[in-house]
Structure 1
Amino acid sequence: MQALVDKEKCIGCGQCVDVCPVEAIKIENGIAVVSDECIECGACESECPENAISL
């Protein structure tokens, strides 16, 4: 399983990209996209200012 992004809440700020230790998140078309490399560490979830990411 990987982190899930609520596309309605995500504003594409990139803060999750900056904190991901395995570079599993990219911003595509203004929304965060999580790849299968996600290790479910929770860094992105706690960093997201819009609470758009959940594990």
Structure 2
Amino acid sequence: MCKAVFFKKLKYRRDVLGDVIVNKHKCLYCGTCVAVCPMDAIELIDKWVEINEDCNDCSVCAKICPVGALGGVK
């Protein structure tokens, strides 16, 4: 398996096992989560919210989201 495929699968696995997950059907792309993230781990990219590996699962973003689009922290 090539490295790109391996790391893509690994990222998906991390999302499922406990990192913050963005529900793109609920997300309004308002940027509130970006502003409150203490780790600067969230970016608005085009029409998508990207959460990088700096996320420490603090849930601040999930608590502040006005539509409840962030969750999945276990």
Identity of aligned residues (%): 35
CA drift of 1:24 comes to 0.2
Within 5 Å, give how 1:1-55 maps onto structure 2.
1-54=18-71, 55=73
Q: Which runs of 5+ in 2 are unaligned?
A: 1-17
Bigger fraction of residues in helix? 2
CA contact (8 A) 1:11 1:31 kept: no
Compute the RMSD of aligned alpha carbons.
Answer: 1.0
Structure 1 unaligned spans of 5+: none
- Structure whose residues are more often strand by fraction: 1
How many residue pairs end up in the alignment? Answer: 55
Q: TM-score normalised to the size of structure 2?
A: 0.69
